[in-house]
Structure 1
Amino acid sequence: MATIRPFEPADYDAAFALWEATPGVGLSAADERGPIERYLRRNPGLSFVAMEGDAMVGTILCGHDGRRGLVHHLMTVPGERRKGTGSALLRAGLGALREQGIDKCHLLVVGDNRAGLDFWRAAGAVERSELALLSIMTDAKP
């Protein structure tokens, strides 16, 4: 199985290449180098990568607001699936959040990402049908 280690800013190029090449991973301007480096600085020790030798084969970004955790971009390359790598990344992220007193995490899965939805359901994640996800830009004029 792959080795799990903390996600460092120097890992960005390899991680972005994986995200870009992986169906079901939604990317936006928030996934550019600057925002990801800011995220890692704001949430030190909570995000991880999976490595097979020198090759990155998976990622998880985790952070929190002091109350709830948020998981982004938990993914593995197709050849690592069903080998426990995704679960190992998830255990690392959840464990790091738990050490900081976070007992619940939220996550987003692209609606047509069947493999992702299946993984999360098998891991124990529960869909929250009573909630609606809304987004608002910080420059909105309410």
Structure 2
Amino acid sequence: MPESLVSFVAFEPSHIAPARSLWDGSEGVGLSSADEPPALRSFLLRNPGLSFVALQADQVVGTVLCGHDGRRGLIHHLVVAPGNRRQGIGRVLLRRGLAALFSEGIQKTHLLVFKSNASGLAFWRSVGAEERTSLALFSLATQNAG
């Protein structure tokens, strides 16, 4: 990856629309209401300086959303545009996100990958992520909590 061609900057609200476009066109990325612009703005404000974008000619070609609850980090949407893959961009985004989380005292970070996302699974295995097959994931809608 020639450094002059790709730059890495903090994910700002101005990057939301092009990031959404990247995610919409990327196989294996699950989107929900939590990925709508108002929710993303709120996420970025709650987790300043933890998320990053890769820019090439002022175009968003990669993203990573990182946040934490004070105890554990969580990575969302580490995505690189298909034409920019296998150049180390995803690894740089990951390193920057992990370093930012570590600077806030976060020792471990989790992420979710669809079992059908073969390229995503391969990437996470290649960077040494531990696949936690002994865990089951559950979700609850907060609107039904009463």
Q: What is the TM-score of this pair, normalised by structure 1?
A: 0.97
SS at match of 1:139: helix
Counterpart of 1:28 in structure 2 is: 32
Matched residue count: 142
- Tell me the percent identity: 54
Q: What is the CA distance between 1:108 and its match in structure 2?
A: 0.5
Once residues 94 and 145 of structure 2 are traced to their aligned partners in structure 1, the CA distance between those partners, rounded to angstroms, is 38
For 1:63 and 1:27, the matched residues in 2 are separated by: 17
In the other structure, the counterpart of 2:13 is 9
Offset of residue 14 of structure 1: 0.3
| Cα separation, 2, equivalents of 1:130 and 1:78 | 32
Instruction: Show the counterpart of 1:86.
Output: 90
Q: TM-score, normalised by structure 2?
A: 0.95
Write out per-residue CA displacement over residues 57-76 of structure 1, whole angstroms, 9 at most, x where no aligned residue.
00000000000000000010
**In 1, distance between residues paired with 2:131 and 2:101?**
20
Residue aligning to 1:119: 123
Q: Does 1:101 align with 2:105?
A: yes
Cα gap change, 1:129 to 1:11, in 2 (>3 Å): same
Q: Quote the offset at 1:18 in angstroms.
A: 0.3
Larger CA deviation: 121-130 vs 40-49: 121-130
| Corresponding residue for residue 67 of structure 1 | 71
Deviation at 1:141, TM superposition (A): 4.0
Q: Which runs of 4+ in 1 moved over 2 A?
A: none
Give the 3-state SS of the residue equivalent to 2:23 in structure 1. helix
SS of alignment partner, residue 143 of structure 2: coil
C-alpha separation in 2, matches of 1:141 and 1:123: 37
Q: 1:49-90: CA deviations, max 9, x gaps?
A: 000121110000000000000000001001111100000000
**Aligned-CA RMSD value:** 0.9
